[in-house]
Structure formats: structure tokens, C-alpha cells
């Protein structure tokens, strides 16, 4: 994945974002973009650029396609939330690792104590990635029953 650049999402990226979400298969939509929520969130960020509470970055391929998405929200807290998605035709090339390492570096450099996330119990690929990247599964979160993961700096 040497030909991938991670950069902030900015106004004008809406076309690439919509193409990225349109290219998602059924499983990715069900696990990551239920009811269009994450797509709406990143498009809203493009319009407002409210970086006080959240940050969105895209992994951009040399051909201009959006290869992946990573975001952190609740940045006003000591342990922000992570969201990540990788383009299906680029999976298996360790882009997810690169994106998570980027988020971990950003959080560490900005004085955060760690990163938290939830994932659907059926997201076995994601669970393996998170555990490889040092996240610990601590149980389930809320009424939706998703697995809750925590990465703490210094562990």
C-alpha cells in the first residue's frame, strides 16, 4: 500500500466519498453503513468542517479513488471513538493496519489516553484487525450488543 496517501477530508471530496460508499457490498453496508449513517456523517463533515469534536481522513489511491476512511470523534474526551472502512477490492493488503496506526499516532500526539470502538459481532475480519493492532475486547456495548474494544497507550 505504498501508493496510498492519507489526507484530511475536505469540501469537494463528496464525489469520492459517495463513490466509496456506493462501491460497498451488502456486508460492508450492513456492518459499517447501516441506514446510511456513516456516509451522512462524513458528507456532513465535508460541509461543516467541524474539527473540534471529530476528524475524518481518507486513504487516497494514486488513481484518485478513495481507498479507505478513518475517523475519530468525541475528540474533546480523553479516549475518542474510532471508525474505519477499507474499500472491498483493496482488502487483504494491510491498509486497515496503516489507517489504524495513523489514528493511533494522531491520538497519541494529541494527548489522548487511547481509542475506543464498537464492532458488530459478525465483523470477524475487523475483530482480528483490532486485536492485531493492540485493541482489547472488553465486552459488549449498549443495547445493540456490539463488541466494545479499547486501545490504551502504555499497555
Question: pLDDT means per 10 residues in the chain (155 residues)?
Answer: 86 94 87 86 86 91 92 95 91 91 97 96 93 96 88 87
Query: What is the number of alpha carbons within 13 Å of residue 75 lying toward its C-beta?
Result: 18
Enter the pTM of the model. 0.92
For every residue of 6-40, which 3-state class applies, written as one string?
EEECCCCCHHHHHHHHHCCCHHHHHHHCHHHHHHH
> In the chain, where do the E strands start and end?
4-8, 54-61, 66-73, 81-86, 114-119, 136-141, 146-152
Amino acid at each position: 500500500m505504498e501508493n496510498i496517501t492519507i489526507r484530511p477530508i475536505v469540501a469537494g471530496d463528496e464525489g469520492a466519498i459517495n463513490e466509496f460508499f456506493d462501491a460497498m457490498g451488502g456486508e460492508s453496508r450492513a456492518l459499517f453503513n447501516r441506514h446510511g449513517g456513516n456516509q451522512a456523517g462524513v458528507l456532513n463533515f465535508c460541509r461543516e468542517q467541524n474539527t473540534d469534536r471529530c476528524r475524518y481522513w481518507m486513504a487516497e489511491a494514486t488513481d484518485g479513488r478513495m481507498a479507505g476512511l478513518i475517523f475519530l470523534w468525541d475528540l474533546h474526551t480523553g479516549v475518542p471513538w474510532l471508525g474505519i472502512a477499507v474499500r472491498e477490492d483493496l482488502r487483504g493488503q494491510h491498509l486497515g493496519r496503516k489507517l489504524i496506526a495513523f489514528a493511533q499516532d494522531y491520538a497519541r500526539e494529541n494527548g489522548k489516553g487511547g481509542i475506543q470502538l464498537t464492532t458488530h459481532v459478525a465483523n470477524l475480519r475487523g475483530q482480528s484487525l483490532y486485536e492485531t493492532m493492540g485493541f482489547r475486547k472488553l465486552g459488549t456495548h449498549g443495547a445493540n450488543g456490539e463488541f466494545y474494544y479499547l486501545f490504551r497507550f502504555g499497555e
